[in-house]
Structure 1
């Protein structure tokens, strides 16, 4: 299992794009510089009236399936 950490700081206006039909995933850059593709459905619960702000932890299995995705701060 692999664990990735990253920080997101997006204004609400950018978060609106997470709800556009046909937009199914986003690419984030982890703390160690690796780019990881995530389904937008993982980010939507973290959108607030000011956008998305915080640190996140992503855990994937050996088949690159998400096992855990959570906001840690």
Structure 2
């Protein structure tokens, strides 16, 4: 499954926010706090400058029915 990643630099809660979209609908955000990150997963702040304004990622698996692990394309 491929999702679209869109930077939200005007996000009032997090200037590093990256929204995740599936079929044109926002489904969430790339994790960006120590509380929501697991193991070696990179945060939104870490990948923000590595991706274009609109990029894609492939969902690899879902961990504990809560964490979605995806690979940047």
In the superposition, the TM-score normalised over structure 1's length comes to 0.45
Return the structure number with greater relative CO, CA threshold 8 A, min gap 6. Answer: 1
In the superposition, the TM-score normalised over structure 2's length comes to 0.45
Question: Which structure is larger by alpha-carbon Rg, 1 or 2?
Answer: 1
